[in-house]
Each structure stands twice: as C-alpha cells, then as structure tokens.
Amino acid sequence: MEPIAPITGGCLCGGVRYEIGVAPLQSTLCHCSMCRKATGGVLVPWVTVPVTALLIVKGDLRRYKSSAPAVRSFCPDCGTQITFWHEARAGEIDVTHGSLDDPDAFPPTLQIFAASRPKFMKGFDPALPSRDEY
C-alpha cells in the first residue's frame, strides 16, 4: 500500500478522531439489515482499509460483537458508528463513510447486500454495480 496524506475523520461529538494512512482498498454502499439497525440509517457507505492503517488519534472506541463473526465500534459518548470488522476479512476493517471529514474523497463503487434493500429504496439507483450479498 502506498502511503498517502492521512485521511481524517471522527465522531459527531469530536471525542473520537482517527487517521488512515493508505488509500482505501474499496468503497461500498451496504444495504444489509444489520447496518441499518447499527446506525439507524437506511444504507451505510463504508471504506475498507487494512486494519493496521487505521490509527485512533483521540479517544477510545467501544466495541461489541454484532454477530458471531463480527465486531462493530462506536463513540461511547455520542454513538457515532465508526468501524466494522469481520473474521472472514481479518486483515481489513471497514470505516463509516459518514465519519470521514471529506465524504467525497472515496466515492462508493459497489453496492453490497442489495437484495436486502427496503422496498421504498428499490427506486434508488446510484448506477453502481450491485451484489445481492457480500
């Protein structure tokens, strides 16, 4: 991975700040039901980076198992969801697009779990390739 100027981001209250020192591996829009429940949003964009590239520079994340193979994290003060990690992709971690300081830096290029989109979102088509599952 080529080092780049750090990508910065953090939670709503400012208690958690992070930096990412390499270009993301991918950028996705997730339509799965667990991301909906975790964030309260109707879809969740993620940037995927190597686990070692994510540096928490301020505050601490609270982590929880959101399913047997997965761990999510959030700011314990304001609740902003920050990361998703899955044991099948143990060397990678997903970071919420919405917590990036520049949400336009790495536009999503792929939709995942598109089969789980709510019915009212069926007409929402950002013209990106789409997979029914991961």
What's the CA gap between 7 and 97, in Å, rounded? Answer: 11
The site map against Zn ion for 59-78 (x = CB under 5 A) is: ----------------x-xx
Q: What are phi and psi of 46, to 5 degrees?
A: -130, 145
Task: Using the minimum distance from each CB to Zn ion, give the nearer residue, 4 or 69.
Answer: 69
Report the nearest approach of Zn ion to the CB of residue 3 (Å).
27
Report the nearest approach of Zn ion to the CB of residue 22 (Å).
23
Q: Where are the beta strands (DSSP E) in 23-122?
A: 26-30, 44-50, 54-58, 62-67, 70-74, 81-86, 92-96, 110-112
| 11 lies in the binding site for Zn ion (CB under 5 A) | yes
Task: Using the minimum distance from each CB to Zn ion, give the nearer residue, 1 or 58.
Answer: 58
Kindly list the distances between the CA atom of residue 103 and the CA atoms of 5, 72, 86, 97, in Å, as whole numbers in the listed order. 16, 20, 23, 6
Of the candidate spans 34-42, 50-58, 98-106, 118-126, the one that interacts with Zn ion by CB under 5 A turns out to be 34-42
| 121 lies in the binding site for Zn ion (CB under 5 A) | no
Instruction: Summarize as ranges the residues that interact with Zn ion (CB under 5 A).
Output: 11, 13, 15, 30, 32, 35, 75, 77-78
